[in-house]
């Protein structure tokens, strides 16, 4: 069981074994307890997410929640973005991982303000963690805050952090059926980045299939294909990002 959100990490066994006795009443009570705990946790999280959102709106901060499986290239994409757009947009980063400061160290090397959140056994960031991190960051008005979530396509989908945009990243080294296997994440995202397209000649990945699967789950989903190594598609990503940055009001 997840130490933070209470999700059932043991899954559900659907195969019926001979001589196995099912304790339906106990199972029903157990699941009811999990649902009640989950509702309480999500309710409290949503209240704090609205508090975060109010803070971001008041300071005209574009908060972006970056979500993906481990190894999709989130941190590499951030490094490239922070380097290429340095001086054009004010940016800061919150890094989420279970352990180590490895990713935060990489972001710090770009000269960007960054705070590391280590979740321990937790499998996602939540609104309270973000609130606590932001309180010490002294974010500037009219800026962008990237929140790199823990690598996980399940639990982070449930937790609103107060972000304006949710960006799901999938690499071509993963399966092209990911949107169908993890629909909540793709349904709740506003942009899908298909990363590492420079590897397409070497992997059995069907770009058109993953596009179709993603749009089946979320017809409004914007999709960008790119490679941080080769540079393909980065301009599209930068243009999309800059189009979302709200210009400060002029008197």
| pTM metric for this prediction | 0.86
Average pLDDT in the 172-192 region?
97
- The answer to whether residue 185 scores a pLDDT higher than 70 is yes
What is the pLDDT, as a whole number, of residue 194?
98
- The answer to whether residue 23 scores a pLDDT higher than 90 is no
Tell me, yes or no, whether 22 lies in a domain: no
- The answer to whether residue 24 scores a pLDDT higher than 60 is no
What is the pLDDT, as a whole number, of residue 40?
74
Average pLDDT in the 170-180 region?
96
Tell me, yes or no, whether 39 lies in a domain: yes
Tell me, yes or no, whether 13 lies in a domain: no
Cα dihedral sign, 122-124-130-133: positive
CA torsion 132-98-143-154 (nearest 10°) is -100
Tell me, yes or no, whether 35 lies in a domain: yes
pLDDT-above-70 percentage for the chain: 82
Q: What is the per-residue pLDDT across 91-118, written as a single tens digit (0 to 9) for each? A: 999 999 999 999 999 999 999 999 999 9
Tell me, yes or no, whether 4 lies in a domain: no
Please write down the long-range contacts of 213-221, taking CB distance under 8 Å and 24 or more positions apart. Answer: 213/176, 213/177, 213/178, 213/179, 213/180, 214/179, 214/186, 216/179, 216/180, 217/179, 217/180, 217/183, 217/186, 217/187, 218/179, 218/186, 218/187, 218/189, 220/190, 221/186, 221/189, 221/190, 221/191, 221/192
* Mean model confidence pLDDT for the chain: 88
Q: How confident is the model at residue 12 (pLDDT cuts 50, 70, 90)?
A: very low
Tell me, yes or no, whether 160 lies in a domain: yes
Query: Residue 122 belongs to a domain with what CATH number?
Result: 3.40.50.300
What is the pLDDT, as a whole number, of residue 41?
77
What is the pLDDT, as a whole number, of residue 3?
55
Q: What is the per-residue pLDDT across 33-82, written as a single tens digit (0 to 9) for each? A: 555 556 677 999 999 999 999 999 999 999 999 999 999 999 999 999 99
pLDDT-above-90 percentage for the chain: 79
Number of domains in the chain: 1
Domain that holds residue 219: 27-244
Tell me, yes or no, whether 67 lies in a domain: yes
């Amino acid at each position: 069981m997840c130490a933070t959100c209470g999700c059932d990490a043991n899954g559900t066994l659907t195969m019926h074994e001979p001589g196995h006795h099912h304790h339906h009443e106990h199972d029903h009570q157990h699941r009811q307890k999990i649902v009640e705990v989950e509702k309480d946790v999500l309710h409290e999280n949503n209240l704090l997410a609205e508090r975060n959102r109010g803070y971001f709106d008041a300071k005209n901060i574009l908060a972006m929640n970056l979500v993906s499986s481990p190894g999709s290239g989130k941190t590499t994409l951030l490094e490239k973005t922070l380097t290429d757009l340095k001086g054009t947009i004010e940016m800061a980063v919150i890094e989420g991982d279970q352990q180590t400061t490895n990713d935060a160290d990489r972001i710090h090397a770009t000269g960007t303000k960054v705070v590391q959140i280590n979740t321990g056994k937790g499998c996602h960031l939540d609104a309270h963690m973000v609130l606590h991190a932001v309180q010490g960051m002294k974010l500037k008005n009219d800026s962008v805050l990237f929140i790199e979530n823990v690598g996980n396509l399940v639990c982070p989908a449930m937790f609103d952090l107060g972000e304006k945009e949710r960006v799901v990243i999938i690499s071509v080294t993963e399966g092209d059926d990911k949107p169908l296997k993890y629909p909540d994440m793709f349904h709740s995202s506003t942009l899908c980045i298909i990363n590492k397209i420079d590897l397409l000649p070497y992997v059995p990945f069907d770009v058109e299939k993953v596009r179709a699967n993603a749009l089946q789950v979320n017809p409004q989903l914007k999709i960008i294909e790119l490679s941080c190594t080769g540079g393909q598609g980065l301009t599209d990503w930068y243009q999309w990002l800059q189009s979302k940055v709200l210009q400060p009001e002029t008197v």
